Amino acid sequence: MGEAYQDLATENLALQSVPGYRQSFPVFTTDPTMVSTQAGTANGGNPAAVRMTRITDFSQGPVTPSGSPYHLAIQGQAFFQVKEADGTTSYTRNGAFELSPTGKLLTSDGAQVLSQGGAPVTISTSGGTPSIGPDGSIQVNGEQVGSIGLVHFQNPATSLQPSAGGRYVAPRNDAKPGLAANDQVLQGKLEGSNGNPVSQMADMIQAVRLYEANQKTIQAADNNQNQLINTLGGRPQA
C-alpha cells in the first residue's frame, strides 16, 4: 500500500507541468476478511488488509495565454479526442497542439487530434492563421474548414481511467459528443494542472514515511512469526 501511495504522489508531482493534468487522490479502505489480530502487528491489524484506490479530481485548472493559435484550452468539463498510435481513441485536457508540415493538428507526442466527425483534423495554412471558435469550429478567412472533436461525460470520475501522459480512456464508451452546457474552447490559451505542487511535495514525503512504516510493520510481523516457530520447534515432543 505504501508503495502504491508513493507511486501516486510521484505521478502527481511529475505531471504537474503537463497542461490540463488532473491530479489524483488516494482513498484507503480496509478488507475485513484479511484483518488479523495476531500480536505484534501494528494496532493489532494486518497491513495487507489496507487497500488503496485512486480518485481523480476533474475540477477546472487555471487558464493562461500561450501565444500560439494552435494552443487550446477548455473552460468547462469537456475533453479533446485524440487518436493513439495503435488506432484507439483517448481523451485529454491538454490542448498544447501543433501543426505538422502536412497540416495535421497533433499533440506534443505526435497523436492526431480528431474532428467532431472522428477524422484527423487537417488545417491548411495557405489562407492564413486559422480562427477556432468557442464551439470548436475552425475557420480560415471566415470560411469554416473543420472542427475540433469534443466530448463530455456525465460523470468523468466513473467513466474515465487514467492512461499515459495525463490522457484517459473510456472503457464504457459513454462519451457524449460535443461540449457540455456552458463549456467553451479558448484559442491561444492553455489550461494548467489543477494540482498544487506544494501539497504534492508534502504528499511525497508522507508517502515515503508511510512506505517505511509499512515495511517496519511487515518486518516486525515476520520476526514474531519466526520467533514463534523457533519456540514451538524447541518444545519436546509428547
Provide the pLDDT confidence category of residue 79 given band limits of 50, 70 and 90: very high
Gap between the Cα atoms of 21 and 10, Å rounded: 14
Please list the residues that pair with 154 across neighbouring strands: none
**Residue type present at position 3:** E
Gap between the Cα atoms of 71 and 65, Å rounded: 9
pLDDT at 210: 61
Q: Within 13 Å, how many C-alpha atoms sit on residue 141's CB side?
A: 6
Q: Are 130 and 117 in contact (CB under 8 A)?
A: no
pLDDT digits (tens, 9 = 90+) for 21-76: 999 888 777 666 655 544 444 444 555 566 778 889 999 999 999 999 999 999 99
User: Shortest CA distance to 96 belongs to which of 39, 166, 38?
Assistant: 166
Gap between the Cα atoms of 24 and 128, Å rounded: 40
Instruction: List phi, psi (to 5°) of 174.
Output: -110, 30
Lowest mean pLDDT among 39-43, 147-151, 154-158: 39-43
Cell of 9: 504522489
Q: For the chain, what is the mean pLDDT?
A: 84
Cβ-Cβ contacts under 8 Å for 18 (sequence gap 6 or more):
94, 165, 166, 193
**Residue type present at position 154:** Q
User: Shortest CA distance to 83 belongs to which of 113, 105, 123?
Assistant: 113
- C-alpha distances (whole Å) from 16 to each of 22, 65, 155, 216, 226 are 9, 18, 23, 31, 45
Pairing, β 131-132 against β 137-140: antiparallel
pLDDT at 124: 86
Gap between the Cα atoms of 19 and 24, Å rounded: 15
